[in-house]
Structure formats: C-alpha cells, structure tokens
Structure 1
Amino acid sequence: MFFLLFFGVKSRFAFVDESIRSFPEDISIDIPDEYNFLQEYPHCDLGPLTQECGCCYAYGPIKAMSHRICKAKNKKTFLSAQFIVACDLLESGCEGGCSRSVYYFLEQHGVTDEECHPWSNQLNYSSEFCSKCKDGSQATLYKAKIGSTKQITSVQEIKKEIYLHGPVSASVAVTDRLKYYTGGLFEDPPRDYIADRTHTVEIIGWGQEKGIPYWIILNQYGRLWGENGMMRIRMGRDDARVESYVLAAEPMITW
C-alpha cells in the first residue's frame, strides 16, 4: 500500500530524451556555493504538502512550476495536482503517470490553481470538473510555454537552471532507505536498482556538508518526513539517480 500511495512514476530510470535535452545556456554567471530557493523567496513556500495518492508524477512538476511562477510574479501561486490527476488523460490518476507528459499537458492545456481545485479525491475525467472551479466559476489555466520543457543533464546546468529560473523536478530511485529517511546527508551510489518505479521530487537548491556537495530536495510527504519535509542528497555522482532525469519548463506569465 505504501508503494502505491507514495511512488507513482510508471517509467524506469531515466534516460536522455534527445527531443527535449537542453544545451548549456550562453550565460556567464557566478553560481554560489550554497543556494536555497525558499530562503531566497520565503513568500513562495507552499506550506506542508502531503501527497494524497500515487501521483508524485504530478506533484514534482506542479511544485516546480508553482515556484517558478511565484519567482516571476513575486506572488505565491499553488497549482493543482488534483486537476492533473483528474484531467490529464495521458496519466493513470492515482495509479501513476509520467512527469514528462505532465509538462506536455502544462504546455498544451494548462492547469488550475489549488484554490480552484483543491484535493477532492476526484479520480475520473469529467468535462464539467475540468472546465470549472469547485464553486462553478470558469477555471483560469496556468500554462508552460510551448516547447519550453527540457531535460537538464549536468550538475552545473541544473544549478544554473535553478538559480536563474527556479526549482526543477527530478526522479529518484524507490528504496526503503529513501522511504524511511529521517535526516542527514543521504548517500546511495549509482547501481542497478531493483525497482519498477521511481519517485518524483523537486530540487530547490544545494549546499555542502564537510566538503561534500548535496542537493536540497523538497518532497511531498508532509513536514514529519526527513528534515522538515526535505532531504539532502549527495550531489555529483547521481546518487539514487537524482541527476538522471531532471526536467523543467518555462511558465507562460500573463500580468
């Protein structure tokens, strides 16, 4: 039950998708040794998040896009994972899905915010549900720019992407150590993982502990998991496959 509830990515690890692979931006900037998006933009904190079912594939992209919109508009915006679960027909609701196709849905269709569609256990498609808010008003859709979804394949480019544009989504390996992580620097060197699914999270920054670099991961298991809902995972050698399938997209900002 735990597996189905919390790990909902249907694909195996990660690969380089040449159709969306990004190439280094021709921008020379100084990347700080430590960076935490939520410390830089505390008003963008979405609060304690608890994933309701096996829909991490939706939460990762939705959180990253929410934070990117907040960074761009200087206003907290929380997009609706419920809308993805019920209205994105390429996914399988609470039975899992693919974060890449969620980004495609954000580009082609868009998604409402949490105020319009908070979690209501709506698992099946309904044209009325997907066109109107819970109060019956017309839904406003937030979109990603067409063709902006990209896969980022190097540590330096991941850091640059987060620093310039905001958090990114990433897939990590499903292991007992990850499920029951309570804190500290998480290390799980690359190996042949025995897992049919991965788990989608959000990378919001990086730091160092005793000279060892790490990523700051924001999960959606609530504040009691890990370090106040977050974890620190070793950077640079693809621990738990965290660097294997990093995705991001540019929000379409309308003022």
Structure 2
Amino acid sequence: AGRNFQSHELPRVRSLVQPSLPSGFAHRILKSRSLQSVSHDGLPVNFTTITKWPKCLSLRQIRQQGDCSSGYAHSVAATITDRLCIATGQSVNMSAEDITACDMNQQGCAGGRTDLAWQFYMDQGVITGESYKLYFSEVLVLAKEHHHL
C-alpha cells in the first residue's frame, strides 16, 4: 500500500488528527461498566453491517480528508450519513466539505470540534454530495454559495 505522509514532518501529521479544544475545555468522565455486568443473552453469534443494512454502502466507506485537518467534519458527516441510511434505508451522502467550509465556529482545514459540527448540522443543516472530484478550494466556494456566506 505504500507509506503515507512521506514528506510530512511529525508535527504536521499530528495537526491532522489532534482535536482543537478551547482552553479550559474539560471532558466528562463516564463511568465504565465491567464486561461481566453486560448480558450477552440475545446477541447474535455473527453480525455484519453488510448483511443487516445492504443498501448502506457508507458503512463500508472510508472518507479521505487529504492534507486538511477536517476529521471533525468527516466524522460528523459520516455518522449522519450512516444513521440516516440505517433509519430510512436510503443512501444519502452528507458533505464533510460543507461543514468544513461553512461552519464559521470552526477553523476549516486548521481543525475543529465535533460538538460544534453537530450543532452546525442541527442549526443549519448540511448539504448532500458525493466525494468531490474538484479541488478542495472550489468545493469550499460552492458550499459557501449554498449557505449564502
């Protein structure tokens, strides 16, 4: 498959995957449950999303953020896409590029937060679209035109 990020320095690669959190941001610590306390009764021996939701091709899709620290947008768009398909049986691809370009509470390709991306989806909605074949800058222009920014 070849080596990824050959020409990138470690700090640049880290910037693609580390979340951008505001100062003072604290995570809530959730209590974990012991595996012994979880009942396995009624669970299938085998389970695959391909069999359960065959129309939901997005469940097998790997999104590509390229050289853009937009994992926050890709994870939210992918989750919305998957949940909508599971609920309705219809395959619709939500646009991570729209969240990256138009959520003014984020930093675009410089990073962002998933909680703010979810809020953007609830407040503004997100456009649909397949994986864009355009240059990312052109996608940003198209998405901003859609939201009249």
TM-score, normalisation: structure 1: 0.40
Would you say 1:16 and 2:28 are equivalent positions? yes
Would you say 1:45 and 2:62 are equivalent positions? no
CA RMSD across the alignment: 3.4
Would you say 1:67 and 2:82 are equivalent positions? yes
CA distance in 2, matches of 1:39, 1:92: 38
Bigger share in strand: 1
Aligned 1:103-182 pairs, distance under 5 A: 103-115=118-130, 118=132, 120-122=135-137, 123=140, 127-131=144-148
Q: Secondary structure at the match of 1:65?
A: helix
Distance 1:34 1:94, change over 3 A: farther
- CA displacement at 1:59 relative to structure 2: 1.0
Q: Percent identity?
A: 24
AA aligned to 2:96 is: A
Confirm or deny: 8 A CA contact 1:8 1:57 kept in the other structure.
Answer: no
Q: Secondary structure at the match of 1:50?
A: coil
Of 96, 113, 116, the match for 1:98: 113
CA distance in 2, matches of 1:95, 1:58: 12
AA aligned to 1:128 is: E
* Greater relative CO (CA pairs within 8 A, separation 6+): 1
- CA displacement at 1:38 relative to structure 2: 4.1
Bigger share in helix: 2
Aligned 1:70-81 pairs, distance under 5 A: 70-81=85-96
Higher CA-based Rg: 2
How many residue pairs get aligned? The number is 120
